Amino acid sequence: MILLSTCSAFYQSTVVIEAARGTSDERLTIDRNDGTVTSVSSTAAAPAFAAAPQRTMTAHGIMGIISLLRGPYLVLITGREVVGSIGSSTVYRASEIRVVKAAAESRVLSGVDAFDEATYLRLLDSALAVNSFYFSYDMDLTSSLERQQQKRQGAGSSLALYKTANDEFFYNKYLAEPLIAVAASNPSASVFVLPVIHGFFECRQVMVRGTAFNYVLVTRRGRKRQGTRYFSRGADEEGNVSNFAETEQIVDFAAPNASSTNPDLAGTQMSYVQVRGSIPIDWAQVINMRYVPKLNVTVEESRERFNKHMMRLISNYNDVVAVNLVNKARYEKPMGDAFAKLSQEFKSPHYHYTHFDFHKECSKMRWSRIGLLLDELAGFTAKFGYFKIKHDPRALSQAGEPLQLQVGVIRSNCMDCLDRTNVFQSELARVVLVKQLRDVGVFTDTDAIANFTSMRSMLNNVWADNADAVSCAYSGTGALKTDFTRTGQRTKAGALQDGRNSVERYIRGNFFDGERQDTIDLLLGAFQVTPGVPSPFADDQTIESKTLVGAVYVCLFMLAYALLYPRGGHWFCLSNFVFTTSWTLVLALVAYTVMKSHTAELLNWPKLTAYPY
């Protein structure tokens, strides 16, 4: 059942949603007063909605429904673009997402409620404005190829997409719950439930000696403990970890544009999966306006969280190798020690732990030393293998025949699970890609990616783009060290860019990410709007704090004025020197006062959910 677009009609008391294309004649109705969602056949609905609606809208899919103070709102995908395919299934990126009021026009808010409603809508718009939501109408993009095959074998290919979706990566699951509830009682309505992932997707065609295939890289970010860099760390009580993501590398000979002189390759797909996630213990970095935040690590209370996380990984991926990339000394040492201690206590034949001090081993731009870690993991890489399946080229949408399974996963992390993790994952993926291409005869035993300039450049850029996408979602900036990912070398220009990104991360982490955490909590349902409760957006800054902020702005203005219009006609005039020195001293005094007594008030904390620190 394929849903290509939906049409929404707004009547005085009801919103009607119908599938403009597809095999179902079902319509969804939303009561504009109480938000009740029901399904009804188009034949039964026709007499009731014979009159012209107040307005109509066309969209490419429904992310879901969210209830705010005024009532229900539709979250609609109103723009899309094709970004590639997996096999015969097209994958889209949501280029525009709109939050549309479904509540009755008669429901009007005023005062604080009106302000809160506008704030909620602004937060939602901000959360949905990112260009990293992807979906497909006829394949389960939330699941790896191997998991899709397992689902087909277990339940057949006739199940609705939402029923086979991976709960961890079904990013709009909370928004889709009202639609899922309707589809549970009326399977025909399942056409309206569209699983969406958040992360990264890129598809590139590769040509090697006359053989063409698609190289696909997809990253699925988890939804169960999502947030921003400093406000979402470690593991929760259920073992869900922050910044958890699954990255799948696909070599696709089943794509429509694939070709080969070897007919045995037609319909073949190969997939390799690796995961990342925050160190699975109870820890936090508490912002305090300093460049390096305060580190809180609680080891003894983390054992159950650690065990739940690792048991879930083993259940989902079989064997697990945890690769810890944090520093073994100074600030990060307690994190490494805690991870090692709990790993040693975790008795399972399916778990292995290794610690590679990335910064020490690869210092002074010795990036080739990442090969030491890859050599250490070579036995596990060979043992785990990769997924390989053969489809009938004449029926690509049908279940194929698995020829090989991936029986384990490598889980990597650094402090943020961003920069060092990105470098390691990209290098590991290259090792596996060479093995995959050699196994099917596209590469000879002596071929390497370095021998194919266009392929090497493509891989560098795709993995760097993936690094930036994951980093922007978590830290708000592009990734560090992407000059190495893009070029294979560390450069001075790349180091300067890393410095810029690091400064931006500091500013965002201290002064902007609290609100960004609120956008995520609202979108994913960690916070649910409840009418009649006090506003969560109350201004908690004191008059003294506001005065100090104003003083900072005045100082900066005066210093800028002295820079642009120096006294005496030039910067080094004595009067200009005295003027700038005086205002610099005032700024330093204000900054000292802020740091000593008002730090917590001036930082940007989340307002929707309780932050324990």
What H or E segment, with its residue span, contains residue 583?
A: helix 574-597
Q: Assess contact for 443 and 434: CB atoms under 8 A.
A: yes
Q: Tell me what pLDDT residue 397 has.
A: 60
Q: For residue 61, is it left (φ>0), alpha (ψ between -120 and 50) or beta?
A: left
Q: Tell me what pLDDT residue 155 has.
A: 63
| pLDDT mean by block of 10 residues, the chain; 613 residues | 53 78 71 85 58 78 94 95 95 96 84 94 96 95 95 72 95 96 89 96 94 96 95 94 97 86 86 97 89 89 96 97 96 95 95 95 84 96 96 69 94 94 96 96 94 94 94 86 70 77 83 92 96 88 83 90 84 85 90 80 87 75
Chain centroid offset of residue 193 CA: 20
Cα–Cα distance for residue pair 209/212, rounded to 1 Å: 8
Q: Tell me what pLDDT residue 600 has.
A: 78
Q: Tell me what pLDDT residue 575 has.
A: 85
Q: Tell me what pLDDT residue 396 has.
A: 59
Q: List, in order, residues 6 or more apart from 560 with CB less than 8 Å away.
A: none
**pTM for this prediction:** 0.91
Q: Tell me what pLDDT residue 433 has.
A: 98
Strand ranges for 87-238 from DSSP E: 89-101, 133-135, 197-208, 211-221
Q: Tell me what pLDDT residue 48 has.
A: 53
DSSP reduced 3-state for 76: strand
Q: Determine phi and psi for 195, rounding to 5 degrees.
A: -65, 135
Q: Tell me what pLDDT residue 4 has.
A: 39
